[in-house]
C-alpha cells in the first residue's frame, strides 16, 4: 500500500465542428495539404483583423449547458503571449478573466459508484498549427492548417484521485460533446486532447503536493499509463527525500516514461491583456434560451427513452448509447422497421460479435441501419431463416448491398414448400424411432432434436413456425 494519494485535474481541448475557423473563413476541416487552408488572418500577417465566428460561440455555450455551467452574460477575449513557431502571430487569442462558461458539474460512474466532477471553466480560443520534425535532416516544418481552428478548453477542479476516474470522465465528455453535435472527439486526429495535472501528497494530508502537467497523451490507454508512471515517479522522488519540481512533462508511450519538457508556466508568464480586435459580447436571455433549446437529446435522456419507451434493458441501452455511431445506426434502423427489441438484439448480438472479432467496424460499415432493419424484418416475419440471415449479414459486411438483393441473388427466401417439408420430416421421423418413442413417453426435450434435423435438411425452404407445426402434428399421430 502506498503512503501517498494522487490528486489530478484535467485540461481538455476540443476542436469545434464549425465549417470555418474561429477568426477567418478558412476551412476548419482536419488534414489537407500543408498550408493550403490559410489566409493572412490565420497565418498572423500584420494589419489583418480577426472576425469572431458566431457558430463557435454558439457551440461553446452548448458545451457549457451540457456540462451544467453558468454562462457568463458578459464575455471577452484576451491575448496570451507566447512564441513557439506553431503559432505565427506569437500570441493566441484566448480568454482569461471572463470565459464564456464557469463552474459546471458532470456526473460520472466509476466502478458502479456515482461521482460528481466540478468544472472550473470553459473558454473559447484558437488552435495552434502543427510542427513536423525531420530529425534526419535537422529540419522542422510548420503546417498552419490547424491555426485558428476553434478550440474550447475545459478546465476541471482537482477532483480526480485515480486513472479510472479520469478515463470515465473523458469518456463522458466525449459522449456529451458528440451528442450535442459540437465536436467529433476523434482522439487519434487530435480533435480532443487531454493534459493531466497531477500531484501526490501523504495520505491524510490536507495540502496538495507540487504538480506536474502531463502532455502528449494521444489515447485513453496512454493517459491511464502515463498517470500510473508519473505517480510512481513522484513517489520515488519523495521517498528518497527529493522534491517534485513544477514542470510540464511529455509522456513517451514506447519507453513508458515521462520526461521533462519545460518548467510549467504560471498565468502571469503569458502576460495576458485584453485583445483590442475582438469586441466583448453581452448575451441576452433570449439568445441563451434559444441556444439551450437547440441542444439535441443527450446520452442520459436517450438511455431513459430507450428503456421506458422501447422496453430495452438498461444495460443494452447503455451499450447502444455509449457509442454514438451505433446509436445513430439504431435510430436509422428503427425508422425503417419499428421493432426496437428485435433490432437492438440483432445489433448487440450478431453485428457486435462480428465487430468484436474484427470482421467489421462501425466506422467503415458498408451498409446502413436501414439495410440491417430490412434483414431483421425478414427474419421476424419468417421470410428468411436465422441461418440464412447470418449468411446475408456476412455478405453485407464484406461487400455491402441490401438484404433483399442478396436473398434474391442467392435464393435464400423461405419458400414455404409444404411438399418438401412433409417429405423431409416424414423421413426424419421414420429414421429415428428411438427419439420418437422418447417423445411419445413425455420427453419434450427431444423435440429440439427434430427441429434441428429438419432445419438442417430444409435449408430455409420452410419457416420455423411451419416446421414446428408439422413435426408436432406428425409426432402426435
Where do contacts with Zn ion occur on this chain (CB under 5 A)? 24, 26, 39, 41-42
What's the closest the beta carbon of residue 375 comes to Zn ion, in angstroms?
A: 46
Strand pairing class (91-94; 130-134):
unpaired
Cα-based distances in Å from 351 to 6, 245, 316: 41, 50, 14
Given the C-alpha cell 472479432, which residue does it identify?
357
What's the closest the beta carbon of residue 396 comes to Zn ion, in angstroms?
A: 43
Given the C-alpha cell 530529425, which residue does it identify?
135
What's the closest the beta carbon of residue 92 comes to Zn ion, in angstroms?
A: 15
Neighbours of 388 (CB within 10 A): 23
- Among residues 256, 117, 227, 107, the alpha carbon closest in space to that of 162 is found at 227
Q: Which helix (H) or strand (E) holds 473?
A: helix 464-475
Judged by beta carbon, residue 26 or residue 177, the one nearer Zn ion is 26
Judged by beta carbon, residue 29 or residue 70, the one nearer Zn ion is 29
What's the closest the beta carbon of residue 47 comes to Zn ion, in angstroms?
A: 14
* Structure-block grid coordinates of residue 222: 496512454
What's the closest the beta carbon of residue 166 comes to Zn ion, in angstroms?
A: 35
What's the closest the beta carbon of residue 78 comes to Zn ion, in angstroms?
A: 20
Judged by beta carbon, residue 37 or residue 76, the one nearer Zn ion is 37
- Among residues 136, 137, 139, 173, the alpha carbon closest in space to that of 154 is found at 173
Residues 264 and 306: their CA atoms lie apart, in Å, by 47
Judged by beta carbon, residue 35 or residue 247, the one nearer Zn ion is 35
* Structure-block grid coordinates of residue 101: 462558461
What's the closest the beta carbon of residue 126 comes to Zn ion, in angstroms?
A: 10
Cα-based distances in Å from 381 to 337, 385, 432: 11, 10, 31
What's the closest the beta carbon of residue 79 comes to Zn ion, in angstroms?
A: 18
The C-alpha angle 151, 154, 159, rounded to 5 degrees, equals 165
Judged by beta carbon, residue 39 or residue 201, the one nearer Zn ion is 39
Q: Three-state SS for 428? A: helix
* Structure-block grid coordinates of residue 361: 467496424
Residues 171 and 63: their CA atoms lie apart, in Å, by 15
Q: Three-state SS for 208? A: coil
Judged by beta carbon, residue 21 or residue 374, the one nearer Zn ion is 21
Judged by beta carbon, residue 87 or residue 173, the one nearer Zn ion is 87
Judged by beta carbon, residue 26 or residue 175, the one nearer Zn ion is 26
Q: Which helix (H) or strand (E) holds 320?
A: helix 314-321
Amino acid at each position: 500500500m502506498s503512503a501517498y494519494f494522487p490528486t489530478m485535474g484535467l485540461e481538455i481541448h476540443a476542436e469545434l465542428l464549425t465549417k470555418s475557423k474561429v477568426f477567418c473563413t478558412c476551412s476548419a476541416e482536419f488534414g489537407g495539404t500543408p498550408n493550403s487552408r490559410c489566409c493572412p488572418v490565420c497565418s498572423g500577417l500584420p494589419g489583418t483583423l480577426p472576425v469572431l465566428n458566431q457558430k463557435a460561440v454558439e457551440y461553446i455555450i452548448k458545451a457549457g449547458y451540457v456540462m451544467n455551467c453558468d454562462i457568463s452574460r458578459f464575455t471577452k477575449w484576451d491575448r496570451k503571449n507566447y512564441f513557439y513557431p506553431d503559432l505565427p502571430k506569437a500570441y493566441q487569442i484566448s480568454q482569461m478573466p471572463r470565459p464564456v462558461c464557469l463552474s459546471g458539474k458532470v456526473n460520472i460512474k466509476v466502478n458502479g459508484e456515482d461521482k460528481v466532477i466540478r468544472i472550473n471553466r470553459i473558454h473559447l480560443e484558437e488552435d495552434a498549427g502543427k510542427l513536423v520534425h525531420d530529425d534526419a535532416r535537422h529540419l522542422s516544418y510548420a503546417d498552419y492548417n490547424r491555426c485558428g481552428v476553434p478550440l474550447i478548453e475545459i478546465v476541471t477542479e482537482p477532483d480526480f484521485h485515480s486513472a479510472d476516474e479520469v478515463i470515465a470522465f473523458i469518456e463522458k465528455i466525449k459522449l456529451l460533446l458528440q451528442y450535442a453535435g459540437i465536436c467529433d472527439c476523434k482522439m487519434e486526429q487530435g480533435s480532443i486532447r487531454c493534459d493531466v495535472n497531477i500531484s501526490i501528497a501523504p495520505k491524510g494530508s490536507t495540502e496538495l503536493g507540487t504538480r506536474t502537467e502531463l502532455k502528449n497523451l494521444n489515447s485513453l490507454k496512454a493517459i491511464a499509463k502515463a498517470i500510473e508512471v508519473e505517480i510512481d515517479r513522484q513517489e520515488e522522488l519523495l521517498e528518497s527525500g527529493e522534491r517534485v519540481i513544477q514542470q510540464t512533462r511529455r509522456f513517451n508511450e514506447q519507453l513508458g516514461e515521462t520526461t521533462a519538457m519545460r518548467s510549467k508556466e504560471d498565468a502571469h508568464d503569458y502576460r495576458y491583456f485584453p485583445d483590442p480586435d475582438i469586441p466583448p459580447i453581452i448575451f441576452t436571455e433570449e439568445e441563451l434560451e434559444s441556444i439551450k433549446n437547440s441542444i439535441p437529446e443527450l446520452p442520459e435522456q436517450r438511455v431513459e427513452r430507450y428503456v421506458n419507451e422501447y422496453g430495452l434493458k438498461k444495460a443494452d441501452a447503455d451499450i447502444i448509447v455509449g457509442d454514438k455511431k451505433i446509436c445513430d445506426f439504431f435510430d436509422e434502423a428503427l425508422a425503417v422497421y419499428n421493432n426496437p427489441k428485435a433490432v437492438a438484439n440483432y445489433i448487440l448480438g450478431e453485428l457486435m460479435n462480428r465487430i468484436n472479432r474484427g470482421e467489421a467496424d462501425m466506422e467503415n460499415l458498408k451498409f446502413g441501419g436501414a439495410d440491417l432493419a430490412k434483414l431483421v424484418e425478414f427474419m421476424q416475419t419468417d421470410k428468411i431463416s436465422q441461418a440464412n440471415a447470418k449468411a446475408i449479414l456476412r455478405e453485407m459486411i464484406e461487400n455491402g448491398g441490401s438484404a433483399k438483393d442478396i436473398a434474391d441473388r442467392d435464393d435464400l427466401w423461405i419458400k414455404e414448400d409444404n411438399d418438401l417439408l412433409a417429405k423431409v420430416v416424414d423421413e426424419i421421423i421414420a429414421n429415428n424411432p428411438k427419439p420418437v418413442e422418447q417423445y411419445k413417453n413425455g420427453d419434450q426435450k427431444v423435440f429440439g432434436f427434430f427441429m434441428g434435423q429438419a432445419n438442417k435438411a430444409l435449408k430455409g425452404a420452410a419457416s420455423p413456425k411451419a416446421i414446428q407445426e408439422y413435426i408436432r402434428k406428425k409426432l402426435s399421430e
